[in-house]
Structure 1
């Protein structure tokens, strides 16, 4: 792939974690409180149905088992674990645990495809994890065992879902594949929203705008670009781009909510950005294979 096209695709994919970094701000400022699973359903299900109505492609019969598993991993299970972690952990610990995703992807590629990670990629991923801990000051936060398991589980299911989506491929066009995963994942979340969340209250204009943003921008646009990146870019590089999400959240908190940026926060941010850049540069080369 030409270098110019590679970096264009990388920048387009990097838009996704920047969008996802705005989720906390939108959720806390525009959405009614105490409805985590409902927010997940309203985020992904309408976006999935819109894409299905637009594309009108059915999966082949033999693709259904894989499609259901991908929908569970990438959307249903990930969203559920994400919200459990968000409600039981400070954001710092949840984000630091999510930052292990590039390392998990390297482990999957090494264990299942015998792709030995390049030392620079491994070092950069570890630096990104350390930078995330500094950025979010997670060291002084309170640990909750269920929240920790949920956050770690979320990183695992997303890494596995990304790996399988890349390895299996699909006969479906990109937007149809995105729509099916969003719709099926939203249906999988629906029982939790009905049984565990209180009823949806009367919505204000701000509430409607918040849900619309999360669905149209945070799901329909973002997941379309994300799955496109998975098809075109090295999987470890895509995983590392996810570290941009909490960086965007910190910057938005500073700009929109007046939250202070301390010296250690800036050091952590620079470390994370340098880590992401190093992973993109190093993982774009042909991977080495073991023995």
Structure 2
């Protein structure tokens, strides 16, 4: 009798998808791959600076989205791991540069001193440059078992996501908008679909490309990613108001201080939360056709809106 009950409990556990278990498996894989990706050689200072920020922890959401989307489309973790690492390198570059005095001027990131506070502004700029350049090299040199045309498509996608048509363009409009009280919701959405959303979209779509997803499947992944990207930013804006510096791992209330337009400043907290939830539901609906294989990406969408830091 006890045995039968134990078996049924095991079956239930198997039937349900546990995001915490999934993340506990995926995060160490990503951490180990990132650690291997950049050894310390001469000149040591630059490699140490790059590793300081790259290995500073964090949820590894972007690489895990890439791995999950590759598996969703029938690929393997091994196929996507170099691209997943490259995405984290690009993301880390953007954080190092974002924290500089010329940009957001932040002293803390993920609960640690920012790169320029430890290594100086000059080395921090170069560490970001080094990570960005190396991200493309890593995809090209380390991706195995994937047709070359797919790897080329991924490299082009990453270039677009990080350049003036993506992250850089969003950051420019963000800097231009600081201190202005008349920023429209359209401008705010432009900033975030480019500054945050473009890279998140590249994470999901690149995994699909590597696995050989059809154009229809890639469109669904793309819409899923656009929705979670915007939801992610709305929640970020809310947390900047409601969370403490300890919870965030960085300075709280920076948006208010910099007189930045945010979703809560335009919609209010309640409506912002409602919009984020609605975006997540729309994102999950895009992947319904994939059935159980979509569970990791759907659970990650919920995780984005429920996070506290």
After TM superposition, the score normalised by the length of structure 2 is 0.29
Q: Which is bigger in relative contact order (C-alpha 8 A, separation at least 6)?
A: 1
Q: Which has the larger radius of gyration?
A: 2
After TM superposition, the score normalised by the length of structure 1 is 0.30
